[in-house]
Structure 1
Amino acid sequence: MGIAKYRFGQYQLDAGRRVLSREGHIVDAEPGALEVLCHLVEHRDRAVSEQELRLHLGCDDAVGEAPLADALRAARLAVGDSDERQESIRTTSPRHHRFVARVTSVPEAPASTPAASVGPADHEVIRFCRSADGTRIAYALTGEGPPLVKTANWLTHLDLDRTTPMFAHWFDGLTRGRQLVRYDERGCGLSEWSVPGFALDDLVTDLHCVVDAAGLDRFPLLGVSQGSAVAVAYAARHPERVSRLVLTSAYARGQQIRAGSDRERDAAEVDLNLARAGWRSQGSSFLRYFASQFLGDATPAEWDAFAAYQRQTTSVANGLRFLEEFTRIDVSRTAGQVTCPTLIIHARADPRAPVAQALELATLIPDSRLVLLDSRNHLFTGDDPAWPAFLTHLDSFLAEET
């Protein structure tokens, strides 16, 4: 079954993309409001408790009742309701709410058929496959030529990335003379959001599912940010499949794992708690801080744009799960088993992954080379002088294969 869309009155709710529209026009709604709305619509056969809604939003008892109250009020406003006018979202008891408007469910195309197209010139089509545990994974093929597989890394959204200025240059660069195979990580984008786990083994299995579905036998593999750990683990487990490995903004060990002193452990916990607070409150100051870790050279306006984009990629609850899992990533023992030629490209002043992590990977992976670029961005932007240098090194390295 594809990603469900729901119609009620003049509204349409795309549950997969977390987008609400009214008569064809997008309704500007906060992420928390959309999460509440989706959950109530999907469970419209019963009254939903506030405790269940708080858990869905990732709000524990410590943060109090205000975030849910704000999200519920915003959800009502988004569909034309108010505290008094409850034609869609009705309070059935002091602590329970139910979606009562008449709903028509409109499923998308089946997973076995192409679900979307992004222009014939680009030859891109979005498809779906099922991972070993049944999780739906969305993947896309872009361009023509020999393949380059990019591991998923949150934040992504296959349907939005190509029109997002902060990521559009990646497609122009990575599809020059080749076919880019990319996919949304479980729990975000067009892949399934309600999943049992986000462990590294799950993510490696998802990658295996995608390359099998794409019909690839042997291919170069690109890992970006935490996607690099997935790439390292996959290359170590499947040396017969990976011809060359490229890692950028990579780290072998998450912040909590690599903390070697009480001071570093305290700093890691503070950083994670800040991120938790930011995602739960969706406050601009927290989200700007989070964005600045990815885009060190960006302006406040660009940080806000990044924050707005990340709200569309996943739910608050999943965002918290991602952050916690990524701090515990550890491929330091696996890296030494990678046998293919490996290129590691890293910004000297990466604000999220210290350059020491790139040095560690270069030391651990036997046939590796390290390139350090002058940049303060964890994700290279289109106007970053390091971006064309990154592409030059990538193209030269992949050309050696032929």
Structure 2
Amino acid sequence: MRYRFGAFELVPETRELLADGRPRAIEPQVFDLLHYLVCERERVVSQDDLIAAVWHGRIVSDSAISARISAARAAIDDGGKRQDWIRTVARHGFRFIGPVEPVEATRHRQPAAEAAAPGGTPHQRVAFCRSRDGTRIAYATSGAGYPMVKAGHWLTHLEHDWHSPLWRPLLSRLGQRFALLRYDQRGNGLSDREISDFALDRFVEDLEAAVDAAGLERFALYGTSQGVPIALAYAGRHPERLSHLVLHGGFVKGRLVRSGADREQGLALLTLIRHGWGKANSPFIKAFATLFIPDGSREQIESLAELQRLTTSADNAAALRWAIDHFDVSDLLEKLAVPTLVIHANDDGVQPLEQGLELASRIADAEFLLLESRNHVIVPEEPAWPVLFEGIERFVLGAAAPG
């Protein structure tokens, strides 16, 4: 069922908001909130109702709810003062007002220009396996198409990321063309957190366990940030399993085995983690957001604090960061025998462009894709978003072997 109101049309089957028939960008969680308000338009919806329906019972702050309401209003050109569509009912909640016309769903063709917008796969399946040392690893499958595995990296939580305004657009976009497998590495998210061994080999074994549990024989491997050295180490062990290797925003040597400003930045980040982990207004959150998504929205930045609170402890975060910043895969690059695409943003504040260029220049026949962006995590609102996915799809699907 679709819903028309004013110049807008809400299309649940494709998770689109149309304005005068044209798709309008809307973050997944904001879409869910707007859809719920429209469906429940005959009554006032309380904050508890919203938390149950949109956040699935997770604890969220009043400010987070207010931010999502503001984003929903902005998406449909509704001012907080006018409240033409979403009315605040003091001390009771919110109600969607104005005429709504329910329309039976018809076949909808998504415009080519909308290929980069978030929408998405409606379901993920979460399961568990054991790494070689017995560590419990949570993994999730979603989407449809050619098999792709996303290597684990610092800060993931399978359930939170599935609804996150920062990660859900990326997961939805990948799920349009790929059968995606991802997992929470040790010390993070739904995987075991009481861990003391964070060696690179253990992270590779976590990836091996998730791939084997999912029954994958051959696939494309997508490593981002810390996932890049893990993906490289896996490719060195199992080149026959990989049809393609995609390395995005990665590095050859971690900050603490580099010199100069990179090492100083790594030590400063560790100090901020220990003193500001998971605190919404802490200096760490500000520094973290400035590094990772300097052009991110307020909602995306707020989601980082929530992710920190949910995914791991401050001690674990610091231990993971210390281990990651000591990774060094220099000796693996020239030995690699897998078709490789290296992607890097020209002004990445987390991993400097020089690290991406070194990866591409030292891996035989590697292709290099430069993104015009300051963000370490590419977001739908920037021009680099379609470039990223068009590059991945062309590289993997243009020559993907079914075997």
Give TM-score scaled by structure 1 length: 0.67
Please list, as runs of the form range in 1=range in 2, the aligned pairs for 1:222-371 lying within 5 A after superposition: 222-259=222-259, 261=260, 265-279=263-277, 284-299=282-297, 302-371=300-369
8 A Cα contact 2:121 2:176, kept in partner: no
Please list, as runs of the form range in 1=range in 2, the aligned pairs for 1:29-44 lying within 5 A after superposition: none
Q: How far does residue 240 in structure 1 lie from its aligned partner after superposition?
A: 1.1
Determine if the alignment matches structure 1 residue 396 to structure 2 residue 394. yes
Runs of 4+ residues over 6 Å off in structure 1:
none
- 1:138 aligned counterpart, secondary structure: strand
Cα deviation per residue 1:243-285 (whole Å; 9 max; x = unaligned)? 11001111111111122x4x65444433432333333977522
Q: How far does residue 146 in structure 1 lie from its aligned partner after superposition?
A: 2.2
Cα distance in structure 1, aligned partners of 2:166 and 2:226: 18
- 2:348 aligned counterpart, secondary structure: coil
Cα distance in structure 1, aligned partners of 2:248 and 2:190: 24
Structure 2 unaligned regions, length at least 5:
1-55, 62-119
8 A Cα contact 2:140 2:158, kept in partner: yes
- 1:240 aligned counterpart, secondary structure: helix
- 2:140 aligned counterpart, secondary structure: strand
Structure 1 unaligned regions, length at least 5:
1-23, 30-119
How large is the RMSD of aligned CA atoms in angstroms? Answer: 2.2
8 A Cα contact 2:156 2:307, kept in partner: no
Q: How far does residue 192 in structure 1 lie from its aligned partner after superposition?
A: 0.9
Kindly tell me: are residues 265 and 224 of structure 1, through their superposed partners in 2, closer, same or farther at Cα, counting changes over 3 Å?
closer
2:38 paired residue number: none
8 A Cα contact 1:235 1:338, kept in partner: yes
Cα deviation per residue 1:96-133 (whole Å; 9 max; x = unaligned)? xxxxxxxxxxxxxxxxxxxxxxxx97453111000011
8 A Cα contact 1:251 1:361, kept in partner: yes
Corresponding letter in the other structure for 2:136: R
- 2:148 aligned counterpart, secondary structure: strand
Q: How far does residue 299 in structure 1 lie from its aligned partner after superposition?
A: 4.5
8 A Cα contact 1:292 1:303, kept in partner: no
- 1:353 aligned counterpart, secondary structure: coil
2:131 paired residue number: 131
Corresponding letter in the other structure for 1:401: A
Cα distance in structure 1, aligned partners of 2:124 and 2:272: 38
1:186 paired residue number: 186
Cα distance in structure 2, aligned partners of 1:360 and 1:121: 35
1:209 paired residue number: 209
8 A Cα contact 2:279 2:285, kept in partner: no
Cα distance in structure 1, aligned partners of 2:304 and 2:387: 23
Cα distance in structure 2, aligned partners of 1:26 and 1:401: 40
8 A Cα contact 1:346 1:373, kept in partner: yes
Give TM-score scaled by structure 2 length: 0.67
- Out of 371, 383, 387, the position equivalent to 1:385 is 383
The sequence identity of aligned pairs, in percent, is 41
Cα distance in structure 2, aligned partners of 1:265 and 1:157: 28
